[in-house]
C-alpha cells in the first residue's frame, strides 16, 4: 500500500462531525499510514475509532487518545477542528472569545509537544483569527500554518455553475480573498464560465448586476445557509477541503484554491487571511493577489475587519500586542 508519508497526522476534534469526516477522507486519500484521533470526548472518540476500523482501510493504523501529550508527541501534520461550531443565527465572529482561547492552548500544546510540526491547518471559526492565535503561541514558522479559506471559493464556483446551468468544473478560477466570513472579498475578474470571463457576463441579460449582487450574498452567507438547511454547521465540505490542504503540504496533489496564511506587508500587516498561495512540502508560498481597483478595495475592507477582531483578541489578553509577538514566537 502506497502512502504519501508514514508521518503522524493528528486530527484534533476527531469525535465531532468535521473531525470524523477528516479522518475518513485522509484514509481514503491514502495520505499516511499513521492517523491519530484526538478529542477530550472519550466516548464519541472511541466510536469514531471503531467506525474507522470498520471501514477496513488497508495499511492505515488509527490510534485514538484523550491525552493531548500523547496525541501531539511526534506529530508532523495536524488539522484542528477543535473549537465550538456555529449555530443558527450566529456569525463566525460570535465565536471569537471562546475559540480564540482554545486556539491559544492549541498553539501552546504544539510548542510543548511537537515543536517540529511540519504543517498545521486550523479550520474552527473565526478561522483567520484562531489560526493567527495558534501561530503566535506555537512558535512555528508562518509558512507552516494555514487556515481554511478555499471553501468560500468553491461556494462561488458552485453558485455560478447553478446560475449558468453548467457543470461546476466548467467554472474556473473562482476566487474569494481576505476573511473567511461575511466580509470576504468576492472577486469576479479572475473567474471564467465555460471559457468566458465572468466580467463579460456581469451586467448582461445572462447575469444582471442585481443577480450578481444576490449571488455574492449567497456565497458570503453559504455557511449560514447550510445551518438553515441541515440544522447544523457545515462539516462535509470543510473536512474535504482541509484534508486537500494537508495533502498538498505532504507533497501530494496541488491545492487549487486560496488558503488562509500569515501576511505581513505594508498594505496588510500582521494578519492571517486568504490570499493566492501555493501549499508545498516546504511551506506556504504567497503569490500575487490581483484584482480590479474595486476588488482590491474590498480586500482592504476585509483586512480592516480582521484587524479589528485581532485587536479585540489582544485586548482580551489572549495574544500580546503586535510589537511583542516575536517574544512569544521568534519566527514572526
Structure confidence by residue, pLDDT tens digits, 108-137: 999 999 999 999 999 998 999 999 999 999
Rounded Cα distance, 5 and 31, in Å:
6
Domains and CATH numbers, the chain: 5-148 (3.40.50.720)
* Choice between 189 and 180, residue whose per-residue pLDDT is larger: 189
Q: Where in the chain does DSSP place strands (E)? A: 5-12, 32-38, 61-65, 75-80, 119-122, 145-147, 171-172, 175-177, 185-187, 192-193, 196-197, 259-263, 271-275, 277-280, 283-286
**3-class SS of residue 89:** coil
Structure confidence by residue, pLDDT tens digits, 16-32: 999 999 999 999 999 99
**3-class SS of residue 269:** coil
Phi, psi values for residue 237, rounded to 5°: -70, -45
pLDDT given for residue 93 in this prediction: 58
Q: pLDDT confidence of 95, banded at 50, 70, 90?
A: confident
Positive or negative: CA dihedral 317, 323, 324, 328: positive
pLDDT given for residue 232 in this prediction: 86
Predicted model pTM: 0.95
Rounded Cα distance, 127 and 207, in Å:
32
Structure confidence by residue, pLDDT tens digits, 288-314: 999 999 999 999 999 999 999 999 999
Q: pLDDT confidence of 33, banded at 50, 70, 90?
A: very high
Residue in the structure block whose three cell numbers are 519566527? 331
Amino acid at each position: 500500500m502506497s502512502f504519501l508519508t508514514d508521518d503522524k497526522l493528528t486530527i484534533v476534534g476527531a469525535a465531532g462531525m468535521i473531525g470524523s469526516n477528516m479522518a475518513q477522507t485522509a484514509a481514503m486519500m491514502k495520505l499516511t499510514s499513521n492517523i491519530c484521533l484526538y478529542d477530550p470526548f472519550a466516548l464519541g472518540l472511541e466510536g469514531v475509532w471503531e467506525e474507522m476500523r470498520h471501514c477496513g482501510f488497508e495499511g492505515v493504523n488509527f490510534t485514538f487518545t484523550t491525552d493531548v501529550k500523547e496525541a501531539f508527541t511526534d506529530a508532523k501534520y495536524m488539522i484542528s477542528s477543535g473549537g465550538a461550531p456555529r449555530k443558527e443565527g450566529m456569525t463566525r465572529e460570535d465565536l471569537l472569545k471562546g475559540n480564540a482561547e482554545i486556539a491559544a492552548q492549541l498553539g501552546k500544546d504544539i510548542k510543548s509537544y511537537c515543536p517540529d510540526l511540519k504543517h498545521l491547518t486550523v479550520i474552527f471559526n473565526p478561522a483567520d483569527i484562531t489560526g493567527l492565535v495558534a501561530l503566535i503561541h506555537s512558535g512555528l514558522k508562518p509558512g507552516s500554518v494555514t487556515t481554511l479559506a478555499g471553501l468560500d471559493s468553491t461556494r462561488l464556483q458552485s453558485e455560478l455553475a447553478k446560475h449558468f446551468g453548467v457543470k461546476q468544473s466548467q467554472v474556473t478560477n473562482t476566487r474569494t480573498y481576505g476573511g473567511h466570513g461575511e466580509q470576504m472579498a468576492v472577486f469576479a475578474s479572475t473567474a471564467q464560465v465555460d471559457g468566458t470571463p465572468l466580467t463579460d457576463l456581469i451586467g448582461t441579460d445572462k447575469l444582471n448586476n442585481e443577480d450578481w449582487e444576490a449571488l455574492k450574498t449567497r456565497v458570503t452567507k453559504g455557511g449560514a445557509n447550510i445551518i438553515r438547511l441541515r440544522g447544523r454547521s457545515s462539516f462535509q465540505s470543510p473536512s474535504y477541503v482541509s484534508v486537500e490542504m494537508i495533502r498538498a503540504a505532504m507533497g501530494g496533489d496541488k491545492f487549487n484554491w486560496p488558503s488562509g496564511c500569515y501576511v505581513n506587508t505594508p498594505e496588510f500587516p500582521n494578519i492571517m487571511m486568504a490570499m493566492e498561495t501555493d501549499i508545498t512540502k516546504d511551506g506556504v508560498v504567497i503569490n500575487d493577489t490581483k484584482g480590479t481597483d474595486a476588488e482590491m478595495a474590498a480586500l482592504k475592507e476585509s483586512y480592516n475587519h480582521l484587524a479589528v477582531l485581532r485587536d479585540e483578541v489582544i485586548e482580551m489578553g489572549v495574544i500580546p500586542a503586535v510589537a511583542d509577538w516575536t517574544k512569544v514566537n521568534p519566527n514572526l
